[in-house]
Amino acid sequence: MSAQHEPVPHAAEASAAGDAHVTRPQEYDAILLAGFGGPEGQEDVIPFLRNVTRGRGIPDERLEEVAHHYRHFGGVSPINEQNRRLREALEQELRRRGVRQPVLWGNRNWAPYLEDTVREAADAGHTRLLGLATSAYSSYSSCRQYREDFARALISTGLAGRVQIDKVRQFFDAPGFVEPFVESVGTAVSELRSQGLADDEIRVLFCTHSIPVDDAERSGPRDQDFGPGGAYAAQHQNVAARVMERIHQEHDEQNVPDWEVVYQSRSGPASQPWLEPDVCDRIAELPAEGVRAVVVSPLGFLSDHMEVMWDLDEEAMEAAQEAGLQAVRTATPGVHPAFVSGLADLIEERMAGTEPNRRTAETPLGPWFDVCRPGCCENVRAGFKPAAAGVAP
Ligand SMILES: CC1=C(CCC(=O)O)c2cc3nc(cc4[nH]c(cc5[nH]c(cc1n2)c(C)c5CCC(=O)O)c(CCC(=O)O)c4C)C(CCC(=O)O)=C3C
Ligand SMILES: [Fe+2]
């Protein structure tokens, strides 16, 4: 780490005490919604993919393969529009509650870039920003990389040390995130039952992004063991179990269908192990297990972006058709009122410095840390990069 990187703030108040949760009220000038970003026309597709894979040695054949998914939809990913809507809905919800801070939006991989948003925020006099990444679980891609994005934005704009960016905790088990899945999966199961299918003929597949096993093992804090697949796999297992438990309670049935967590959108060289099983591989095996209908729930995603529209709506649905299975793909949270309200709760919780025992969490793993613990979601491939909003290093 060079001297110019020193001033990146590491959520100073909390790390000094080593607290997992910030329990003093915090003043913030603005909320910074951090998205992945996506192309908005055919000419954006390759530059966008180069941004995503910058420095990671993803071969051009793979870029072309992925470009084709985007080209199929006119080169437009719906993700930016989803985030514009989420930004608007969240700001409205905060206004309704009397919270006056603006919600600003910036992306990792496409305009509006976080760098520009942070510079504009500082120009407007905002020096304390509360980051909120559009990603619910712990892993390098979904947690630490957003913290690196914040640090890079501060360093490249020369604002490190003058502007501070903290980050809202990972919200995989926040009630507002879980609720839309309870609703959509519950409805899908009820409909299949009403068509005469028995529970043992229905399988619920909770789908999330595959990541390298190496990243998964390092997800979450360094000093805690979450079992195979690390915090990333454990969080998904726990949320999926909770969704099915809630459906069981709310639908007053004897039982619920069997369910599994499966993975999608694997990339990287074949020699590198990624989390398995793949959603399409599992679908192909289900008829031999007596299954006749599959519910595909995108548990790892916030909105219907390209990973959902291509890998699930095209590929997984095709796999189901080939297997002779009936298939339903259920909704992502999007701008579901419970989800938007849940995010506003998390923002208010952080501003108030709410005591841990008064925070809500739907699984025994939470409520997750406000301030990332040492080594949280490390990535040895990417090498060391400065990261905001955590305990150093
Ligand atoms: C955990 C995770 C999430 C969920 C959490 C979150 O939401 O953040 C996520 C989301 C997304 N991933 C997305 C797109 C892509 N991900 C790629 C590549 C990768 N993703 C990874 C992980 C994740 N990704 C990983 C380990 C790689 C390998 C390269 C690397 O080590 O980083 C590539 C490169 C091409 C390829 O190799 O497939 C693309 C184009 C989009 C945008 C979709 C749109 O435009 O609508 C979104 C929301
Ligand atoms: Fe993390």
Range from 169-173, 182-186, 386-390 carrying the lowest mean pLDDT: 386-390
Q: Which residue among 69, 139, 265 is best mutated to probe the pocket of ligand 1, counting the most ligand atoms within 8 A of its Cβ?
A: 265
> Does residue 292 line the site of ligand 1, with CB under 6 A?
no
Please check the confidence at residue 15 and state whether its pLDDT lies above 60. Answer: no
**Angstrom distances, CA of residue 138 to CA of 143, 350, 381:** 5, 18, 17
Structural domain includes residue 223: yes
Kindly tell me if the per-residue pLDDT of 13 is higher than 70: no
Name the band, by pLDDT with cuts 50, 70 and 90, for residue 12: very low
Read off the pLDDT of residues 128-183 as tens digits, 9 standing for 90 and up: 999 999 999 999 999 999 999 999 999 999 999 999 999 999 999 999 999 999 99
Q: Is the beta carbon of 90 within 6 A of some atom in ligand 1?
A: no
Same domain, 31 and 99: yes
Rounded-to-integer distance, Cα 129 and Cα 151, Å? 12
In short, whether 34's Cβ falls inside 6 Å of ligand 1 is no
Answer left, alpha or beta for residue 383, where phi above 0 means left and psi between -120 and 50 means alpha: left
Q: Cβ(303) to ligand 1 under 6 A?
A: no
Position 210 in a domain = yes
Distance 39 CA to ligand 1 centre (A): 13
Burial class (CB in 10 A: 0-12, 13-18, 19+), 102: middle
Write the ipTM: 0.93
Give me the mean pLDDT over the 274-303 stretch: 98
Please indicate, yes or no, if residue 381 is contained in any of the structural domains: no
Residue nearest (by alpha carbon) to ligand 1 atom 13 = 307
Q: Ligand 1 test: best mutation among 40, 211, 307, most atoms within 8 Å of CB?
A: 307
| Nearby residues for ligand 2 (ion, Cβ within 5 Å) | 143-144, 372, 376-377
Q: Which ligand is closest in space to the CA of residue 76?
A: 1
The pLDDT, as a whole number, for residue 58 is 78
Same domain flag for 114 and 142: yes
- 3-state DSSP of the chain: CCHHHCCCCCCHHHHHHCCCCCCCCCCCCEEEEEECCCCECHHHHHHHHHHHHCCCCCCHHHHHHHHHHHHHCCCECCHHHHHHHHHHHHHHHHHHCCCCCCEEEEECCCCCEHHHHHHHHHHCCCCEEEEEECCCCCCHHHHHHHHHHHHHHHHHCCCECCEEEEECCCCCCCHHHHHHHHHHHHHHHHHHHHCCCCHHHEEEEEEEECCEHHHHHCCCCCCCCCCCCHHHHHHHHHHHHHHHHHHHHHHCCCCCCEEEEEEECCCCCCCCCECCCEHHHHHHHHHHHCCCEEEEECCCCCCCCHHHHCHHHHHHHHHHHHCCCEEEECCCCCCCHHHHHHHHHHHHHHHHCCCHHHCCCCCCCCCCCCCECCCCCCCCCCCCCCCCCECCC
For 10, the domain range is: 3-171+336-358
Q: How many whole angstroms from 65 Cα to the centroid of ligand 2?
A: 30
Residues 25 and 163 in one domain: yes
Q: How many domains does the chain have?
A: 2
The answer to whether residues 202 and 153 belong to one domain is no
Under the banding of pLDDT at 50, 70 and 90, the label for residue 269 is confident
Q: Is residue 185 part of a domain?
A: yes
CA gap 263, 291 in Å, rounded: 19
Ligand 1 nearest-atom number relative to CA 58:
37
Report in angstroms the alpha-carbon separations of 12 from 17, 44, 118, 193, 368.
9, 39, 19, 53, 18
Closest CA to 63 of 71, 379, 264, 112: 71
Residues 143 and 213 in one domain: no
- Ligand closest to Cα of 138 equals 2
pLDDT level of residue 48 (50, 70, 90 thresholds): very high
Residue 387 reports pLDDT greater than 60: yes
pLDDT score recorded for residue 345 = 98
Residues in a beta bridge with 133: 34
Are 322 and 354 part of one and the same domain?
no
- Look at residue 381 in the predicted model and tell me its pLDDT: 79
**C-alpha 87 to ligand 2 mean position (Å):** 23
Mean pLDDT of the chain: 93
314 and 184 inside one domain: yes
Answer yes or no: is pLDDT of 1 > 50: no
Q: What is the pTM of this model?
A: 0.95
Same domain, 94 and 32: yes
How close is the Cα of 148 to the center of ligand 2, in Å? 10
Residues 180 and 313 occupy one common structural domain: yes
Task: With a cut of 60, say whether residue 197 has pLDDT above it.
Answer: yes
The closest ligand to the CA of 143 turns out to be 2
- The confidence score (pLDDT) of residue 170 equals 97
**Structural domain includes residue 377:** no
Is residue 223 within 8 A of residue 391, CB to CB? The reply is no
Q: What are the pLDDT digits (tens) for 78-128?
A: 999 999 999 999 999 999 999 999 999 999 999 999 999 999 999 999 999
Q: Where does the pLDDT of residue 384 fall: very low under 50, low under 70, confident under 90, or very high at 90 and above?
A: confident
pLDDT of residue 342: 98
For residue 300, being part of any structural domain is answered with: yes
The answer to whether residue 393 scores a pLDDT higher than 90 is no
Ligand 1 binding pocket includes 144 (Cβ within 6 Å): no
pLDDT-derived band at 59 (thresholds 50, 70, 90) equals confident
Give the ligand with the smallest distance to the CA of 208: 1
The distance of Cα 194 from the centroid of its chain, to the nearest Å, equals 33
Residue 144: closest CA among 77, 256, 227, 221: 221
Rounded CA separation 129/126 (Å): 7
Pocket lining: 142 vs ligand 1, CB cutoff 6 Å: yes
My answer on whether 224 and 279 are in the same domain is yes
Confidence band, pLDDT 50/70/90 cuts, at residue 253:
confident
Work out the percent of the chain whose per-residue pLDDT is above 70. Answer: 95
Per-residue pLDDT averaged across 18-30, rounded? 89
Which pLDDT tens digit goes with each residue over 216-232?
Answer: 999 999 989 999 999 99
Mean pLDDT is lowest, of 26-30, 169-173, 355-359, 383-387, for 383-387
